Amino acid sequence: MLQTGGCYRCLRTLEDKEQFVNDYIQWYFTYRNHVSFQRFKDGLATLNLFNALEQHPSLFLPYLVYSAEDLKAETLEALAWLLDVLMFATGLKEIPAAKLTPQPQLTFQKHSRFPEANVCSNTLKLPILPSYEKFEEAMSYGIRNSPGFEKKRCPYYLHI
């Protein structure tokens, strides 16, 4: 494993040992996992989430870093809401392990008060409304009252 990490060499001094340990740690935690980190970044780049994370890291901290804080009902409700949005926009009950194909798109529309979705192209069309309160109400009503792809209603439902 040391040779794979490019750290296999003769150690003659204490400084050589320290350099060896630093090189090995850098290889083990950074270079060895580079492909995994890149795939994670590419996944976050979907819908520009990676850019938002870079610009506002403190807003995403509670979602990306473990906290010993107790799980609250509001947190579970927010998660359930995100799953409802996923189901509405893509027809999927959970995010696929590989990636969403085609890549999700977000568009805006003026002609409708409620959100619309095209699950074949993974497109979510959001209404442009005069206030955030009206937008929030229309989104909640539209998504929670959509029929979705429940097994009882649609014989073509595939659980992925």
**Residues in CB range of 24: below 8 A, 6 or more apart:** 2, 5, 7
- For residue 135, give the CATH number of its domain: 3.30.2410.10
Residue 28 lies in a domain: no
Residue 11 lies in a domain: no
Residue 39 lies in a domain: no
Residue-level pLDDT at 157: 40
How many domains does one find in the chain? 1
Q: Domain range spanning residue 130?
A: 72-160
Question: Residue 77 has which token pair?
Answer: 């409700």
Distance CA(110)–CA(21), nearest Å, equals 60
Give residue-wise pLDDT tens across range 13-68: 888 888 888 888 888 888 888 888 888 888 888 878 888 889 998 888 888 888 77
Distance CA(3)–CA(137), nearest Å, equals 60
For residue 156, pLDDT over 80 is answered with: no
Catalytic status, residue 7:
no
Residue 143 lies in a domain: yes
90-128: string of b/e by CB count within 10 Å (b at 16+)? bbbeeeeeeebeeebeeeeeeeeebbbbeeeebbbbbbe
Contact 89, 122 (CB under 8 A): yes
Catalytic pick from 7, 10, 120, 154? 120
